[in-house]
Structure 1
Amino acid sequence: MFGFLKRRRRARIQAQPFPPAWLAIIQRNVPMFARLLEADRDELLRRVLVFVAEKNFEGAGGLAMTDEVRVTIAAQACILLLRLDDDDYYPRLRSIVVYPSAYKVPREERAGEIVREHDAVHLGESWGHGAVVLSWNSARHGAADPRDGKNVILHEFAHQLDQEDGAADGTPELERLAFYAPWARVLSEHYLALRKAARTGRKTLLDQYGATNEAEFFAVASECFFERPVQLRTRHPELYDELSSYYGQDPAGAATPA
């Protein structure tokens, strides 16, 4: 019954005309939107309506929450969802907390009995218990250049997809059991190669922050998949294919002139 009511509520939301002011925000702030196929652009707008209606946006650190902030974040978060299950709107996510710029998070480091407290500077975080935290300045600038391979919104929402099964391990919920073995092989090979490159100082297409752990590797690879798809397909075709199979999208094909 709950699923039926949820689908009916979402259908009503999606039947509403998309606000022209919101479309202008997406066209201005999310240049990746122009690279989508027309059918995907229409689907993205429908998903943005639901996302904004269902998620709670909170300004922090003095940020005044506006439609520009909501819609810019929602559009990019929903790009990841375009071909995923219709019921998949980051079900664990309740709130998106947005700071004006990079923000500080208290941290403790222990060395034996010695505890050192310090502030870590963050651009974004994804919490498994219902929140994404973003720096608006970083989010806006990351979206402005859709080919630099760096996008904090795509990164943190990829973490949300990874965390849907309760574990931040670089493996989101895949459609079929048979998909897990090739995913594990390909992602592990590329993760270990990135770690080796980071140790030896070799330049890489993938941001070397992805060498931190498997969860960060998936988030970094997702950023690259959507922002630098042609380069990723050329240099890491197996990794591109796994991500393309998972997301159900072929951004390299869309980016290649006919």
Structure 2
Amino acid sequence: MRGLINWWQGRVLAHERARIAPHNWEQVWEALPLLADLTEAESRRLADLALLFLREKRIDPAQGLELTDPMRLAIALQACLPILELGLDWFTGWYAVILYPEEFVPEREVVGDDGVVWIEHEAKSGEAWEQGPVILSWADVAASCERDGYNVVIHEFVHKLDLRDGAANGCPPLHPEMSPRQWTDTFAAAYQDLCDRVDAGDATPFDSYATESPAEFFAVISESFFEVPKRLHAEYPGVYEQLRAFYRQDPLARMRATRPSARMSLPGWSR
């Protein structure tokens, strides 16, 4: 059975590779510096994962946005980086990404703690629904390429991982070898520290939006884990180790390693 699955997946990947011009891969890969530290094997697996992602998930442009292959690849590669060692099954149960040209303003009823209901009109760069789509602003996706700790694609798709157990609480379903108590204690201490620093008006190396809730802290800190791992490790080494165990990746070790560029191994690129 496994041989049949591998054969089918190979056929699917061959078909998907043929649909995207080689120069599109090169354009997108060079525009995403957070991928530069991947090994050749990791680059290949990420590219294949992105192709399977694009086969399974629709990317629906909104408000007249013209969707191109480089845009689709940019979203898929960044979305799949957190699940590189987890697999596409972590993104099951939903089927679409909605892409707006710029920030969007969803209108929804919000019930406050006091029972008062109002209509929210807050501009957003991204949003993830529990069993629905991921919604993104292309302007913010395009602004996520500087490797400065801000990455709206990673942020929203990490929310999807968090939501796999039905609750956006900053604790995704952990691997059997991981300790839920250690995760909770480590994240709670770091979250409280960041909240205290923000409340005191101190400068912090992370977006203050992380203090909105434990779920937002997990998403923002995951952005830093992949984009600026040295910064995260310096500030919250315990959190870094928990994320390393969960994602089964070590971006800081990758960054410290020296190797030739892996870009020539990507689908359709000449060797």
Q: Give a deviation string over 1:173-218, Cα, whole Å, max 9, x none.
A: 1111642121111111111111111211112222111111111111
Determine helix, strand or coil for the equivalent of 1:105: coil
Match of 1:10 in 2: 9
Amino acid aligned to 1:180: P
Name the CA shift for 1:201/1:94 in 2 (closer, same or farther; >3 Å): same
Partner of 1:145: 146
Work out the percentage of aligned pairs sharing the same amino acid. Answer: 34
**CA offsets, 1:102-147, max 9 Å, x none?**
11122446677975545210100000012100000100111x201x
SS of 1:121's equivalent? coil
Deviates further, 152-161 or 57-66: 57-66
SS at match of 1:204: coil
Shift in CA distance, 67/178, structure 1 to aligned 2, threshold 3 Å = closer
Query: One-letter code of the match for 2:153?
Result: I
Distance in 1 of aligned mates of 2:73 and 2:168:
27
Looking at secondary structure, tell me which structure has more strand per residue.
Answer: 1
Query: C-alpha separation between the residues in 1 aligned to 2:257 and 2:178?
Result: 34
Q: 1:232 maps to what in 2?
A: 232
1:103 alignment partner AA: F
Match of 1:29 among 28, 31, 35: 31
- Take 2:34 and 2:132, find their aligned partners in 1: how far apart are those partners? 27
Q: Which amino acid aligns with 1:43?
A: R
Q: Structure 1 pair 16/257, CA: closer, same or farther in 2 (3 Å)?
A: same
SS in 2 for 1:133: strand
Counterpart of 1:250? 250
Number of aligned residue pairs: 254
Q: Could you tell which deviates more after superposition, 130-139 or 117-126?
A: 117-126
Measured in 2, the distance between the counterparts of 1:118 and 1:130 equals 19
Gaps of 5+ in 1: none
Residue of structure 1 aligned with 2:78, choices 63, 76, 79: 76
8 Å Cα contact 1:107/1:120 also seen in 2: no
Q: Which runs of 5+ in 2 are unaligned?
A: 259-271
Indicate conservation of the 8 Å contact 2:125/2:152, yes or no: yes
Deviation of 1:12 after TM superposition, in Å, equals: 2.5
Which moves more between the two structures, 129-138 or 103-112?
A: 103-112
Kept in 2, the 8 Å contact 1:30–1:75? The answer is no
Q: CA deviation at 1:21?
A: 3.3
Q: Which residue of 1 aligns with 2:94?
A: 93
CA–CA distance in structure 1, aligned partners of residues 156 and 206 of structure 2: 16
Q: Would you say the 8 A contact 1:158–1:222 is kept in 2?
A: yes
TM-score, reference length from structure 1: 0.89
